[in-house]
Amino acid sequence: MAERSFVQEVQKLRLGAGEEFVGEGILAVTKALLESGVSYVAGYQGAPISHLMDVLADAQDILQEHGIRFENSASEATAAATLAASVNYPLRGAVTFKATVGTNVASDALANLASGGVTGGALIVVGEDYGEGSSIMQERSHAFAMKSQIWLLDPRPNLPSMVKAVKMGFELSEASHTPVMLQLRIRACHVHGRFTASDNVRAPFALHEAMEQPQRDVSRIVLPPASFVHEQEKLTHRWPAAVDFIQKHQLNEFFDGEAKDVGILVQGGNYNALVRVLERLGLADVYGRCRVPLYVMNVAYPVVDAEVLRFCQGKRAVLLVEEGQPNFVEQNVATVLRQAGCTTLLHGKDMLPPAGEYTLHEVLKGVRAFAQRYDLIAAAQTSVAQALPAAASASAAPAPTPTKAHKVFALKPLQQVVQPRPPGFCTGCPERPIFAAMKLVEKELGAHHVSADIGCHLFSILPPFHIGNTTMGYGLGTAGASAMNVPAGKKAISIMGDGGFWHNGLTSGIANAVFNRSNNLTIVVDNSYTSATGGQDVLSSKALNPTRSTGHLIEKAVRGVGVEWVRTFKRTYDVAGLRDALKEALTSTQPGPKVLVAQSECMLNRQRREKPQVRAQLAAGQRVVRERFGVDSDTCTGDHSCIRISGCPSLSIKTNPDPLRTDPVATVLDSCVGCGMCGEVSHAAVLCPSFYKAQIVSHPSAWERWWDGLRRQVVGVLQRRRAQQLAQWAF
Amino acid sequence: MATDKHPQPIKIAILAMGGEGGGVLADWIVDLGEQAGHWAQTTSVPGVAQRTGATIYYVELFPKSAALGGGPEPVLALMPLPGDVDIVLASELMEAGRAVQRGLVTTDRTTLIASTHRVYSITEKSAMGDGRVDADQLLAHAQAAAQRLVCFDMAALAEREGSVISAVLFGALAGVGVLPFSRAQFEATIERAGLGVKSSLQAFAQGFALAQNPALITPPAPMAQSATKPVPQEPVLRACVDQVWDMLAEPARTLAIEGVRRMADYQDPAYARLYVDRLESVHQALPQDPMEVMAALARHLALWMSYEDTVRVADLKTRGSRFDRVRQEVGAQPAQLLRINEYMHPRYQEVCESLPARLGTWLMASPRLRALGERVLSRGRVVQTNSLSGFLLLYVVSAFKPWRRRTLRYQLENQRIELWLSLVRQWVPAHPALALELVLCQRLVKGYSDTHARGHHHHDQLLALVAEHGARLSAEQLRALREAALADDQGNAFRSTLASQGWA
């Protein structure tokens, strides 16, 4: 069960010719796949294409109507290998995964696929997670396209362009027998827009036909001599075919402008940013009609030499807007111009930032520099600080006075009061107590080397836990500690999520540790979902999934590859118990890897499941017990050690109600889900007696009410007695 | 170029924290715009930012009527350009500050709508003392940067209406009237969304009203000062209050009277008398009358003398007033039953210290009994305070109050207090600034068990330092040391500061 349900939205996938589709970019891409007559779709979730996977999962009935097979791939490598179905058969297939991290994993299959080439259209939808909000290394998928010769599409970030890119992508792939990569930036994936739909198309050739009448062509298999032929073929046949197709169908766009002696080449994905900046500079209107001619490269690779030369013909200079580094396209275009003896001056990362996200502000600075150099605008303001008033002055609004504008940049004092908000564990997250327990163990046994992994649990490296020395990639937590395998006073600890475990960790980490006789400890965080990517099911999920096989225990898999020391801990909130289990694992003299499976359901998903049930029970007048925690402000001394060992969003601070105390006291916000961590921690760490757990019983039984009344009476008498004593001295 | 002949898109940035409904708000605005004949575009960068991190949603609206003969469509941006945003909605005060920091709020055009409540950052929360940033700072920046600022506590409103902040923000957005849409159009949007419509509409109405008439916003009340002298019934306490009233001026007076009140609540009138005598003893040593020393002393002496021992905790936990407070805090309805469970983990040391001094010392000294006791007390206990057994247990413990003066803990604390006071008295005449810092050092003594022990350890070290090198020690140095002791709970900063000042 995914974090977000698309059950409503997927009905848009049924829209017919002429009807208007309104919605999220990634949903439009899904619709385009149906309109392109795909036979199979596969992928591995991860921002920003998680929604694509969730949409497909929620749309399986619609997919079946069109005879489309949808696979939740075990990894990006699996997804890429799935495209093998398009090598021998006229089957259109699409796979999707996240950015370079996914392409890294998939590259083996992608290289083999690209070498032999394809018969049916093969489309790889890559969601780029670059710049603001990104949680991965900042690299370009572009390099993979170049090294394996896979065509790379980077359409303008509006729904019609993205839909066109999908459809043309399949045709380009078939025309040039080459897989095609469709690059979608994160903002494009989530952009809300509209396009005019066409009818969905059912594939003329079905998967079962391929299975029933298999075909083989040894010349498509990557083995000498065929592999050497492939290399030649790529350049002599596939490349020219692709270039012809791109030109014939005008995949790249030329926009004319009055200032004919200059021009700007831009990646499709950066088109909107460029146009907005030109408009701010008074060089375009809101409709995108520019004074400067534009060459929009919706095809980022290959570069079409003829088009570049045609565009640059007779221009003094051009500016290339290419986000990310290395500047592959800039180098390519430079070579094209030089070899053609073209004298047009090429600007790019000499005026724009060499690295980092091309935010509107950065593009504005670069384009202004270019526009001023070639007298498109007055060379009045040049400094960065004045960029903004200059921008504003181009708008209808009156230009602000510099003094006012400078406020925008008076950041220094602000930097002291505006603090970062790193992402962290959600309220009631079952992973938090794991790291709280590790903190307690650290107090007793000292610090250990911790090899972290990818997933929510990586938040442990941030405050308040500060746990984790390295992270080498998804499912590679245990692999990252491989070298730490010598006799030593301490064991190394590895963290791995259930997602990473099934993705590759079982073999790359656990089996590897068994084979190499490691003694280290691996903690597998088993919360029943790939939570960081949006709560998709995995093999070990407890939820019954109608179309997937779940309920396969991680402990069984671990024992299956030969681990002797395995403990499955069924309630991570038992901090003291977890602490003792960790201590046992770290002090055990038994040889061989230790694996501790820490189980508790992801609280986000659990709440989503339980809340409706509770509402129903309350409505039906059934007995319901709600638990939440609280802090007694009169015994809390405002030391906040409870927060330093928890970091729960619902555990906060408030002004001390005691007029004598100045430090704020801890407080539990109403968002508390009563997971019990606070109490367990104050016990395990011997913190303070201020925490209380309140159990609120709705619709109690008659007997409960009677007994409660009796207790209240007895307690009340004593309390009043005490109150009277104090009252004598009160004033 | 046609730039200024044609209207601009309306540019709206929403700054929120993950799971705060910023996405819902963006969707509402898009739906609102589309229903009212606009092209609407929104986008965001979710990913891990969804997990409690700060994130920005960006919306652009453009009237179809303005398009040239029904087309072409405008090219809308997917991210805000600093200096080019018309409306910024911030779900929290520090996020408003972040918007200003990122240059999204400018005096020439930006209407900033923000909630003034604080969701504290992890840095603020995990400080050992008071790590909160100055909210007025944030407000001042917002004020200075915005063309128009509309801000009030939307969290409180949302809570009162049983709704969410996004609904209040949406109401405020309608209220400021910067969008070309009617109130009815806004409300219709909420109804179309169809989730929690009733409460959302109420929250919306509140936001709308306050945005239109900020005068309705009530400022927080300042700390009350005792203008008239309170007159306790009990003669000893009355004498104490009179003495304090004559001896001290504000703000020391209010604090000292609060201190007297606390001593009576904590122990008895005689204890209040001891408190006042101790104040007196320092006051006499004062050359002139720097009230800050006395104010600090009134506060910190009261806090120290009302140290949290088992009797005190049991007393506070079993009070009727506390039961009512919990009921109200957790929002339990009269028809609902409430069970209050305490997480108690007394350690052997604390148990011994609550016993008569001799017995306690003997038990602490005996290794075998200690081992036994620590094994018994190794696990914490959950006591249900409003069950008969649980209540009686704590009630009986609290009933030992009259014998508190005989306990080991009382002796230990009083030795420390006296040593501290003697040093204060010693330095107050010649070096009031140092004495003040010394008084403030009591801040280190707080918390329970390990935390408390660590605090005491640092405090003792500082007292020893003053006793030994008082003449060479400057007030600034002592303050630096105290702040270092509160910088981290491993005591690293404290050690390094000691070393850097050349004491260790």
Q: Scan residues 486-525 of A and list those with Cβ closer than 8 Å to B.
A: none
Out of B17, B97, B345, closest to residue A686 by CB: B345
CB contact at 8 A, B378 and B325: no
Residue B442 included in any domain? yes
Residue B336 included in any domain? no
Domain boundary among B211, B234, B259: B211
C-alpha span between A518 and A484 (Å, rounded): 8
DSSP H or E segment with residue A195: strand A192-196
- Mean pLDDT (chain B) is 90
C-alpha span between A698 and A620 (Å, rounded): 11
Asked if B230 has any chain A CB less than 8 Å from its own CB, the reply is yes
- Mean pLDDT (chain A) is 91
Residue B135 included in any domain? yes
Chain A / chain B CB contacts < 8 angstroms: 415
Is the predicted pLDDT of residue A475 greater than 70, yes or no?
A: yes
Token pair 């795909």: residue: A38
Q: Residue B243: its pLDDT value, please?
A: 95
Q: What is the mean pLDDT of residues A438-443?
A: 92
The residues, any chain, with a CB within 8 Å of residue B435's CB and separated by 6 or more, are: B293, B424, B427, B428
Q: Residue A691: its pLDDT value, please?
A: 93
Q: Residue B223: its pLDDT value, please?
A: 53
Q: Do A388 and B82 touch (CB under 8 A)?
A: yes
Token pair 């899904």: residue: A30
Asked if B126 has any chain A CB less than 8 Å from its own CB, the reply is yes
pLDDT class of A396 with cuts at 50, 70, 90: very low
The CATH code of the domain that includes B105 is 3.40.920.10
* Nearest residue in B to A50, CA atom: B47
Residue B55 included in any domain? yes
Q: Residue B447: its pLDDT value, please?
A: 80
Measured in whole angstroms, the distance separating CA B302 from the mean position of its chain's CA atoms is 21
Preferred mutation among B28, B79, B327, B488 to probe A, highest tally of A CBs within 10 A: B79
Torsion B204-B206-B208-B210 (CA) sign: negative
3-state helix, strand, coil in chain A (%, to 5): 45, 15, 40
* Nearest residue in A to B26, CA atom: A192
Is the predicted pLDDT of residue A405 greater than 50, yes or no?
A: no
Q: What is the mean pLDDT of residues A255-260?
A: 95
C-alpha span between A375 and A366 (Å, rounded): 14
Q: How many CB atoms lie within 10 A of CB A53?
A: 26
- From chain B, pick out residues whose CB is under 8 angstroms from the CB of A719: 318-320, 323
Out of A192, A392, A663, closest to residue B43 by CB: A192
Q: Residue B68: its pLDDT value, please?
A: 61
Q: Residue A688: its pLDDT value, please?
A: 85
C-alpha span between B110 and B176 (Å, rounded): 12
Out of A423, A714, A731, closest to residue B261 by CB: A731
Identify which has the larger pLDDT, A534 or A27. Answer: A27
pLDDT class of B25 with cuts at 50, 70, 90: very high
Q: Residue A404: its pLDDT value, please?
A: 40
pLDDT in tens, A131-182: 887 888 999 999 999 999 999 999 999 999 999 999 999 999 999 999 999 9
Tell me the C-alpha to C-alpha distance, in Å, between residue A1 and each of A74, A391, A534, A553, A630.
17, 47, 9, 18, 32
CB burial of residue A469 (10 Å; 0-12, 13-18, 19+): middle
CA dihedral of residues A627, A633, A637, A639 (deg, nearest 10): 50
DSSP string, A482-531: TT--SS-SS--EEEEEHHHIIIIIIIIIIIHHHHTT---EEEEEE-SSBG
Residue B202 included in any domain? yes
The residues, any chain, with a CB within 8 Å of residue B468's CB and separated by 6 or more, are: none
C-alpha span between A497 and A430 (Å, rounded): 12
Q: Do A422 and B450 touch (CB under 8 A)?
A: no
Question: How many domains does the structure of chain B reveal?
Answer: 2
Tell me the C-alpha to C-alpha distance, in Å, between residue B489 and each of A621, A639, B122, B458, B497.
49, 10, 16, 11, 14
Q: How many CB atoms lie within 10 A of CB A322?
A: 26
Torsion A405-A411-A413-A417 (CA) sign: positive
Q: Residue B225: its pLDDT value, please?
A: 59
Identify which has the larger pLDDT, B453 or A332. Answer: A332
Is the predicted pLDDT of residue A387 greater than 60, yes or no?
A: no
The residues, any chain, with a CB within 8 Å of residue A519's CB and separated by 6 or more, are: A485, A491, A591, A592, A593, A594
Q: Do B345 and A157 touch (CB under 8 A)?
A: no
pLDDT in tens, B260-305: 999 999 999 999 999 999 999 999 888 776 678 999 999 999 999 9
Q: Residue A409: its pLDDT value, please?
A: 38
SS (H, E, C) B379-429: CCEEEECCCHHHHHHHHHHHCCHHHHHHEHHHHHHHHHHHHHHHHHHHHCC
Q: Residue A359: its pLDDT value, please?
A: 95
Q: Residue A531: its pLDDT value, please?
A: 81
C-alpha radius of gyration, chain A, whole number? 30
Asked if A213 has any chain B CB less than 8 Å from its own CB, the reply is no
Q: Residue A384: its pLDDT value, please?
A: 41
Asked if A356 has any chain B CB less than 8 Å from its own CB, the reply is no
C-alpha span between A263 and B34 (Å, rounded): 35
Domain boundary among B154, B187, B211: B211
- Residue length of chain B: 504
Residue B497 included in any domain? yes
Is the predicted pLDDT of residue B121 greater than 70, yes or no?
A: yes
Quote the Cα angle for A217-A219-A224, to 5°: 140
Q: What is the mean pLDDT of residues A661-676?
A: 91
> What is the ipTM for the molecules in this complex?
0.91
Is the predicted pLDDT of residue A267 greater than 50, yes or no?
A: yes
Residue B216 included in any domain? no
Q: Residue A134: its pLDDT value, please?
A: 83
Q: At what angle do helices A305-312 and A328-339 cross, to 10 degrees?
A: 70
Range of the domain at B448: 409-504
Tell me the C-alpha to C-alpha distance, in Å, between residue A13 and each of A28, A34, A49, A63, B221.
8, 8, 17, 10, 57
C-alpha span between A354 and B155 (Å, rounded): 43
Among A195-209, A229-243, A489-503, B223-237, the least confident range? B223-237
Q: Residue A129: its pLDDT value, please?
A: 86
Is the predicted pLDDT of residue A403 greater than 50, yes or no?
A: no
Asked if A187 has any chain B CB less than 8 Å from its own CB, the reply is yes
Pairing of strands A69-72, A40-43: parallel
Q: Do A397 and B340 touch (CB under 8 A)?
A: no
CB contact at 8 A, B19 and A411: no
Alpha helices in B267-404 (DSSP H): 269-285, 291-305, 310-318, 320-329, 348-353, 357-365, 367-376, 388-398
pLDDT class of A548 with cuts at 50, 70, 90: very high
Peptide bond into A464 cis (omega under 30): yes
Pairing of strands A122-128, A180-185: parallel
CA distance B365 to chain A (A): 22
Q: Residue A401: its pLDDT value, please?
A: 38
Asked if B103 has any chain A CB less than 8 Å from its own CB, the reply is yes
Q: Residue B222: its pLDDT value, please?
A: 55
Asked if B316 has any chain A CB less than 8 Å from its own CB, the reply is yes
Q: Residue B120: its pLDDT value, please?
A: 93
Q: Residue A391: its pLDDT value, please?
A: 39
SS (H, E, C) B163-227: CCHHHHHHHHHHHHCCCCCCHHHHHHHHHHHCCCHHHHHHHHHHHHHHHHCHHHCCCCCCCCCCC
Is the predicted pLDDT of residue A533 greater than 90, yes or no?
A: no
Domain boundary among B146, B180, B211: B211
- From chain B, pick out residues whose CB is under 8 angstroms from the CB of A695: 338-339, 341
Q: Residue B291: its pLDDT value, please?
A: 75
Residue of B476, B464, B475 whose CA lies nearest to B503: B464
Asked if B229 has any chain A CB less than 8 Å from its own CB, the reply is no
C-alpha span between B374 and B369 (Å, rounded): 8
C-alpha span between A113 and A210 (Å, rounded): 18
* Nearest residue in B to A422, CA atom: B53
CB contact at 8 A, A50 and A102: no
C-alpha span between A567 and A585 (Å, rounded): 9
Residue B105 included in any domain? yes
Q: Do A660 and B255 touch (CB under 8 A)?
A: yes
Pairing of strands A299-301, A151-153: antiparallel
**What percent of chain A has pLDDT above 90?**
79
Token pair 């005879």: residue: A67
